[in-house]
Amino acid sequence: MYGRTDVAIENVTIIDGSGNLPRVGSIGVTGDTVSSVGSSPRFHGEARLRVDGSGLFSAPGFIDLHSHSDFSLRENPLGHSKVLQGVTTEVVGNCGLTAAPVRSGTFSHLVEYLTNTVAIDDAEKQSWRWPTMMAYVEDSLSRGSSVNIAPLVGQGTLRVAVMGFCDLPPSPGQIEDMERLLSREMRMGCFGMSTGLQYVPNSYCTVEESSRLCSLVRSFGGFYAVHLRSEGRGLLQSVEEALEVARASGVRLEISHAKAAGEGNWGKSGQMIRAIEDEALRGTDVAFDVYPYTAYGSSILDFVPPVYLAGGIEKALQILREESARREVAAMIRHPGSDWENPRTEATWDRIVVTAVGDSEGARFVGKTIEQVSSVLGMDEADAIVHLVSRFRGRVKLLVHAMDEDEMKVLLSHPRSSIVSDAAAYKLSGKDRGAHPHPRSFGAFARVLGLYVREQGLLSWQEAIRKMTSLPAARAGITDRGLIREGMKADIVLFDPERVKDCATFEEPFRYAEGIPWVMVNGVVTVRGSKHTGARAGRLLRRISAGTEESR
């Protein structure tokens, strides 16, 4: 079936991604495909490259089911912080926040909406005109990529394209318009739809609206990734809302970055798991994903009461020019009502950290807690929040320490959970260094292997690898990756089980993982000797029809 072997990996402990026990053997790669796997090599002729895997474990390339690198890969196509921890495929377009589809009549609203995840400067606005999410990703990958990209389209972006920041239910014509946009994305190869029900105006979506769109997603064999409406006080009600959409539409449901945020909500993760397990017994296809940290990333806009954001961020900023409005918002931050959650209800001010500011003047605040920022500004914390929102036009990112370690480990070890980063790729140089990102960008997958497998024994090697490979592949509907098996694409990671670890910390996040000397993407060596080779062998992955997928 296969001709000459290009790469022969010998004497390696193979963890094939299925959950099967490790075994010592050899792997042959021909072109972009695994051509042989077994205890006795069946290589054809002399391989172009022979790798001695003695003392190393091999695994399928890690699949990050919840990534935000769709925005960072334009700046960093080599995807350093992800590739160097073994990630070879990223599922992007999460949390309902995608760069496209773009419509000229609602473009200003899209720019405002995306403030939750990326700051678009005036120069970029001139080119930000992609008619589809697939067109955006194709353009982003035109310079090559070191990772494969599997895109989703954001429900929030679809809604903005059709309705702007309108807080009313869509009319029959508007929902049909969203369906046309979504159908085009799915026909072009998107793997499904994501939603971010915490973010205005995606938060205006109802169960009926989501169910109708998800029925279309299901007809293409796609999946629905849900950033819940609440991950704190309203967690259980939000889980039920997501399950209701899955029941009504029959869509495959993935609950994104599962957590119970805020000490007052610790313990709810167990209730969430029981609800998911009960629903699965009724026949609903539901699972969830989790990252191995007890802090989440956020936007400072989460502190702005939803009533102020109803007309869009620009309108909210205009209102906040009035001193009376600023005082009112600060008071609401200090004492939020029962109908609104903000990060202050989940963590104290000394546990909320500024990680990025979309303005060079704000660099002095990066890495500081809100408590420290308030001291610098000479005002209390709520007033400091309002000042940052107004001065930097909402372009401030935060890190919130709000979860319980033991509870996170329960989620991490559950058989239905995939391991993700919920983060973009970074590099050690360039404008990235002006930020103070969550360490998950550099260490999520290596952290699980080093800390929760080797050191704590929470997971076996084979189960951890399954959660990083075949399980997320199955959830996304990626059929040619996630296993080391003949005929599968040759995305392969070699790591040292004694040395693999994350090095990034909350204090010093810009540190690459260690103990991962080899990474192959589509048969091309992309990491060698723990150094990036500069290879750009990644591909745009497309779901071409229900139940099928191809890479180009």
In angstroms, the CA 167 to CA 261 distance is 26
pLDDT of 547 > 50? The answer is no
Q: What is the pLDDT of residues 189-201, one digit of tens each?
A: 999 999 999 999 9
Token pair 């260490």 in the structure block, residue: 443
Alpha helix (H) ranges present in 132-257?
133-140, 155-163, 172-188, 207-219, 235-249
Note every long-range contact of 104-110, with CB atoms under 8 Å and residues 24 or more positions apart, other chains counting. 104/129, 106/160, 106/161, 106/162, 106/163, 106/164, 108/312, 108/314, 109/160, 109/164, 109/165, 109/312, 110/157, 110/160, 110/161
Question: Mean pLDDT in the chain?
Answer: 94
**What does the pLDDT read at residue 238?**
98
Q: What are the DSSP calls for 488-548, one per residue? A: SB--EEEE-TTT-B----SS------BS--EEEETTEEEEETTEE-------BEEEEETTE
**What does the pLDDT read at residue 251?**
98
In angstroms, the CA 387 to CA 220 distance is 46
**What does the pLDDT read at residue 552?**
44
Token pair 């189960």 in the structure block, residue: 463
Q: How far is CA 457 from CA 163, 378, 419, 448, 500, in A?
A: 50, 47, 16, 10, 14
Instruction: Determine the residue type at 96.
Output: G
Residues contacting 525, CB < 8 A, separation 6+: 7, 49, 518, 519, 533, 535
- The structure's pTM equals 0.96
Torsion of CA 302, 305, 311, 316, to 10 degrees: -80
Two tokens at 41?
């090599």
CB hemisphere CA count around 298 (13 angstroms) = 26
Which domains are seen in the chain, by residue range? 7-60+480-535 (2.30.40.10), 95-137+152-255 (3.20.20.140), 299-399 (no CATH)
Angle between helices 155-163 and 207-219 (to 10 degrees): 110
In angstroms, the CA 13 to CA 25 distance is 6
**What does the pLDDT read at residue 548?**
46
Note every long-range contact of 474-477, with CB atoms under 8 Å and residues 24 or more positions apart, other chains counting. 475/65, 475/223, 475/252, 475/254, 475/287, 475/289, 475/418, 476/63, 476/65, 476/91, 476/150, 476/191, 476/192, 476/223, 477/191, 477/192, 477/221, 477/222, 477/223, 477/252, 477/543, 477/547, 477/549
Q: What is the pLDDT of residues 187-242, one digit of tens each?
A: 999 999 999 999 999 999 999 999 999 999 999 999 999 999 999 999 999 999 99
The angle at the Cα of 73, spanning 67 to 79, to the nearest 5 degrees, equals 80
pLDDT of 164 > 60? The answer is yes
Q: What are the DSSP calls for 48-80, one per residue? A: SEEEE-TT-EEEEPEEESSB-HHHHTTT-TT-H
Q: What is the pLDDT of residues 86-138, one digit of tens each?
A: 999 999 999 999 999 999 999 999 999 998 888 777 778 788 899 999 999 99
In angstroms, the CA 336 to CA 138 distance is 43
| Peptide bond between residue 509 and the one before it cis (omega within 30 degrees of 0) | no
Of 120-134, 309-323, 428-442, 491-505, give the range with the top mean pLDDT: 491-505
Residues contacting 548, CB < 8 A, separation 6+: 221, 479
CA quadruple 128, 129, 133, 136: dihedral sign: negative
CA quadruple 470, 474, 476, 479: dihedral sign: positive
pLDDT of 432 > 80? The answer is no
Q: What is the pLDDT of residues 330-387, one digit of tens each?
A: 999 998 877 778 898 999 999 999 999 988 889 999 999 999 999 999 999 999 999 9
**What does the pLDDT read at residue 361?**
87
Pairing relation of β-strands 518-521 and 492-495?
antiparallel
| Peptide bond between residue 101 and the one before it cis (omega within 30 degrees of 0) | yes
Q: How far is CA 142 from CA 97, 137, 297, 537, 539, in A?
A: 22, 9, 29, 12, 10
